[in-house]
Amino acid sequence: MLDRLQAENAGWRRERGDPALAEVHGSIAVPKKSGIWRFFAFMGPGYLVATGYMDPGNWATSLAGGSKFGYGLLTVALLSNMIAILLQALCSRLGVASGRDLAQACRDSFPRPVGFVLWMLAEAAICATDLAEVIGTAIGLNLLFGIPLEIGVVITALDVFLILWLQNLGFRFVEALVVALLAVIAACFGIQIAMADPNWGEVIRGFAPTTEIVTNPDMLYLALGILGATVMPHNLYLHSAIVQTRRHDGTLDGKREAIKLATWDSTLALMFALTINASILILAASAFHHGGTGEVADLGKAHELLNPLLGSAWAPTLFAIALLCCGLNSTVTATIAGQAVMEGFLNIQLAPWLRRLITRTIAIVPAAAVTIAYGESGAGALLILSQVILSLQLPFAVVPLIMFTADKRKMGVLVAPRWQIVLASLAAALIIALNMKLLFDFVTGA
C-alpha cells in the first residue's frame, strides 16, 4: 500500500494536504453497481462549469454577432464549445487522477514566488468574473423590476446568504439550484425563438464554416470576441475541485471510470451551454439582423427592441428573466471557484461567508461607483473591461493544466492521451493568440 502511494506521489514535491473544498470533498456517494444511477451520481459539476460559458459577459458578443451577421457566426460558437469540452475534460482528469485541483497542483509544482503571482492573477480573474456577474444581475433587476442599477449592484451582495444556506444543506442542493436556473434560461430562450420564428435552413447552414469569417474584418473581429471570451480561467480551477465531491472507488479502475463519467457529465453540460449561446445568437439574428435593426450589442437596447420586433410584451420579460438567472447562477460558481483558488494556492481556509464578502466587496465597489457616475453606458464599458482582465489571466491557467495532465510522473498511468494534449495545446495557442489580439485592440483603441 505504501509503495503504491509513493508511486502515485512520485511526481509531486509534497503531500497534498487538505483536499479541495474539504467540507464537501467526497460528500456525494456513488453507487457501487454500474448502471444509469451511477452515471447520474456524477452529473452536476459539469452544469456548474457550464454557467461560466453563458455568463452575462458572453451575451454582448453573441448579440452583436447575430444582429450584425445573422447566423454566420454559429460555426464559431460551435468551435468554441469543442475547445471548452476538451479543456474541461483535462480538468476532470487532473482532479480525479491526482487528487489535486489546479490551484493545489500549481502550489506544489512551482516555486513560492511563481505560485504567489499565479494566485494573484487567479484572484484577479475571480474578481473580474464576479464584476461581470454583478453588472449582469443588476441589469437584469433593472430590466425586470425597474430597480436602479446602483441599487441593484448593492442588492447582489445578498446572494452570499443564499449560497451559504445551500452549502449547509449539501452540495447537491447547490447543483440543483444551478440546474433549475439553467432550465428557466432554456425555457425563456425556447419561447423567444418560437416567437422569432427563424429560418431553420439558414440556422443549420450557419454551423458550417465559411471563408467570409476570415476575409471580412468586422466578422473576424466578432468571431475573435466569441472565441476569446469562451474559456473562463476560474472554470478550470472550479472543475478540477468540484469533480472531487464524488466518493467513488479509489482503485485504478475506479478512477478510470470516474474520469470517463465526469467527462461525459461536462461534455453534455457544455453541449447544453452551446444550445443557450446559439439561442442568443439565433434570437439576435432573427429579431435584429433580419428585422433590419442592425448591430445590437447593448443588453438594455436588446431588451427594449424585442417587444416591437417580436410583437409580444412577453419577449423582453423573458429576456430579462434569463439574464437575471444567468447572473445568479454565475455568482454561485464564482464563489466556489474563489474558495478553491484561495485554499489551493495558500493552503489556508477562510470561513465561506468571509471569503464571499471579500470577493463580492472587491467587485461591488467599482461596479457601484461606475454605475452611479455613468449609468448603464458605464456599466457596459466595465463589463468589457472585465473580459479583458480575464483574457490576461487565461494563459496562466490553461498552460499549467496542460503541463500537469501531460506529465506521466504526476498522473501515472492516467496521464492524458497524446492526441488530447496535442489538440489542447493547439486550442490553447489559438485562444491565447485571440485573447492577446483582443487585449491589443482594447489598449490601442482599434
Which tens digit of pLDDT belongs to each residue from 388-409? 777 778 889 999 999 999 999 9
Q: Give me the pLDDT at residue 228, please.
A: 65
Q: Which three cell numbers stand for residue 173?
A: 442542493
Per the model's pLDDT, the better-predicted residue between 100 and 309 turns out to be 100
Q: Give me the pLDDT at residue 362, please.
A: 67
Q: Give me the pLDDT at residue 363, please.
A: 62
Q: Give me the pLDDT at residue 6, please.
A: 43
- Which of 36-45, 53-62, 206-215, 252-261 has the least mean pLDDT? 53-62
Apex 286 CA angle, 282 and 289, nearest 5: 105
Residues in the chain: 446
Q: Across the chain, what does the average pLDDT equal?
A: 83
pLDDT band at residue 192 using 50, 70 and 90 as cut-offs: confident
Per the model's pLDDT, the better-predicted residue between 433 and 122 turns out to be 122
Mean pLDDT score, 349-365: 68
Q: Give the separation between CA 280 and CA 265, rounded to whole angstroms.
A: 23
- Distance set, CA 149 to CA 301, 316, 332, 350, 440 (Å): 15, 18, 21, 31, 30
pLDDT band at residue 360 using 50, 70 and 90 as cut-offs: low
Model confidence pLDDT, tens digit, residues 85-131: 999 999 999 999 999 999 999 999 999 999 999 998 988 888 777 77
- Distance set, CA 318 to CA 130, 312, 342, 387, 400 (Å): 23, 10, 37, 25, 40
Per the model's pLDDT, the better-predicted residue between 135 and 372 turns out to be 135
Q: Give the separation between CA 48 and CA 426, rounded to whole angstroms.
A: 26
Evaluate if residue 79 carries a pLDDT over 60.
yes
Q: Give me the pLDDT at residue 371, please.
A: 67
- Which of 1-5, 64-68, 104-108 has the least mean pLDDT? 1-5
Evaluate if residue 268 carries a pLDDT over 90.
yes
Evaluate if residue 3 carries a pLDDT over 50.
no
